[in-house]
Amino acid sequence: MAPTKQAPTRQAITLKGSTNLVTEFFKYAVNTILFQRGVYPEDDFHMVKKYGQTVLVTQDLALENYLDKILKQVNKWLLTGGVTQLVLAIISKDTRTPLERWVFDINLVEQPAGSSEVPPPKPESEIQAEIRYILKQIVSTVTFLPIMDEPTVFNILAYTSESADIPADEWVDTDPLAIEASKSQQVKLRSFSTDVHRIEAMVAYRYDG
């Protein structure tokens, strides 16, 4: 299951395409979460047609740039297989307690060891449909996630391998912002996969029921 290092050399072109696809997915997923969970005011978002549906994307320049910077680095890590998980943590602004963790596992798709023939490439439309399902699911999580009535901030954590190339002055080691297990509920979301990557989503939220 652990990502293997030989993967990047397998299909260079597909890898790059897949990486961009995955990065793009993160962009829209993060935006959707920030909008749905009210981390930023609704007015900061505008509608964009994407994946055959409307997605709300921030038009706050500062936030846009911030996400761009992060995603650029994530893109690099994806190319080298350096990142295994991305977490979007939503934290209470005042108490700094983590309220929600949106976890995206990034796995490299391994070819079946026995079969020598390359499986037919997955059609883009199918990938898009899978992404669309995830985004829709994120939207629908609002129905069961606890209401956060306090102001919140977010943080994006990247779980990288020890060997990954890390721009030292830009990325720093950090706390996992874990939710105490006794107060945490987890819900597995859908996943999507390209020919190279497989993204599995999960949300954990604080629930003191």
Partner 1 sequence: MAFTPKTPSRQRSRSETKTPLTPSMMNGISSMSLASPTKRQTNQRGAIADTISANPFISSRPSSPVKRTTSGALQITEALSKQANSGVIRKGGIESRLDVITHDYVPPPRTDPKRSKSTGTLQRDTRDRFITSRNADVGEVAATLELMHLSHSSSSPSHTARLASATGVPINKRILSYHEPPPPPSDTTLAAQRDAVRPLYARTGSLPTSTGATTNKSRKISTQPERVLDAPGMVDDFYLNLLSWSCLNVVAVALAENTYIWKADTGAVTHVGEAPEGSYVSSVSFSSDGMFLGVGCGTGEVELWDVETGQRLRSMSGHQGQIAALSWNNHILSSGCGDGSIWHHDVRVARHKVMELLGHTGEVCGLTWREDGELLASGGNDNVVNIWDGRIAESVTGSHVSAKWTKRNHTAAVKALAWCPWQPSLLASGGGTNDATINIWNSTTGARLHSLATSSQVTNIHWSPHRKEFLSTHGYPNNSIMIHAYPSMERVAEIRDAHDTRVLFCARSPGGDLVVTGAGDENLKFWRVWEVPKEKKGKGREKASSSTGILGIR
Residues that bind partner 1 (CB under 8 A): 1-2, 39-41, 43-44, 60, 62-63, 66, 69-70, 73, 84-85, 105, 107, 144, 151, 153-162, 164, 166, 169-176, 178-182, 184-188, 200, 204
Question: Using CA atoms, how far apart are residues 62 and 70, in angstroms rounded to an integer?
Answer: 13
What's the closest the beta carbon of residue 141 comes to partner 1, in angstroms?
Answer: 9
Question: Using CA atoms, how far apart are residues 1 and 108, in angstroms rounded to an integer?
Answer: 8
* Residues 81, 3 contacting (CB under 8 angstroms): yes
Question: Using CA atoms, how far apart are residues 66 and 93, in angstroms rounded to an integer?
Answer: 18
Identify which of residues 21 and 177 has a Cβ nearer to partner 1 in the complex. 177
Identify which of residues 12 and 140 has a Cβ nearer to partner 1 in the complex. 140
| 3-state SS string for 40-68 | CCHHHEEEEEECCEEEEEECCHHHHHHHH
Identify which of residues 5 and 121 has a Cβ nearer to partner 1 in the complex. 5
What's the closest the beta carbon of residue 8 comes to partner 1, in angstroms?
Answer: 18
Identify which of residues 14 and 183 has a Cβ nearer to partner 1 in the complex. 183
